[in-house]
Amino acid sequence: MMHVITSARVGDLFGTYWESGHVVLEGDRIARAGPGPAPDVPGAEVLDAGGRLVTPGLVNAHAHLYSALARGIPLRRFDPTSFREILEQLWWKLDRALDLDGVYHSGVVGALGHLRAGVTALFDHHASPTAIEGSLSQLKRALSEVGLRADLCYEVTDRGGESERDEGIAENVRFAREGRVPGFFSAHMGLHASFTLSDETLGRARAAAEELGLGYHVHLAEGKEDPIDALQKHGVRTAERLDRFGVLGEGSLLVHGIQLSGAEVEFLAARGGTVVHNPRSNMNNAVGVAPVPAMLAKGIRVALGTDGFGSDLLTEALTARLLAHHASGDPTSLPDPQLLALLRENYNLAERAFGVPMGKIAPGFAADVVVWDYVPPTPVDAGSLLSHLLFGSISEGIRPRTVLVAGVPRFRDGVVTGLDERAALAAAAQAARALWGRI
Domain ranges of the chain: 2-58+358-416, 59-354
Predicted pLDDT of residue 60? 98
Note the CATH number of domain 59-354: 3.20.20.140
Contact 194, 230 (CB under 8 A): yes
Predicted pLDDT of residue 15? 94
Q: What angle do CA 326, 331, 332 make, to 5 degrees?
A: 125
Task: Provide the Cα torsion 307, 335, 55, 147; round to 10°.
Answer: -10
Predicted pLDDT of residue 430? 98
Predicted pLDDT of residue 392? 86
Query: Rounded to whole angstroms, how far apart are CA atoms 264 and 196?
Result: 20
Query: Rounded to whole angstroms, how far apart are CA atoms 290 and 281?
Result: 12
Query: Rounded to whole angstroms, how far apart are CA atoms 151 and 301?
Result: 18
Class for the domain spanning 2-58+358-416: mainly beta
Predicted pLDDT of residue 88? 94
Predicted pLDDT of residue 393? 78
Instruction: Report the chain (439 residues): mean pLDDT per 10 consecutive residues.
Output: 95 97 98 94 94 97 97 93 95 97 98 98 98 98 98 98 98 98 98 98 98 98 97 97 96 98 93 97 97 96 97 96 97 97 98 98 98 94 96 84 98 96 98 96
Q: What is the pTM of this model?
A: 0.97
Residue 167 per-residue DSSP state: H
Burial pattern 266-283, b for ≥16 Cβ within 10 A else e, equals ebbeebebbbbbbbbbbb
Residues with Cβ within 8 Å of residue 417, at least 6 apart in sequence: 409, 410, 411
Predicted pLDDT of residue 408? 98
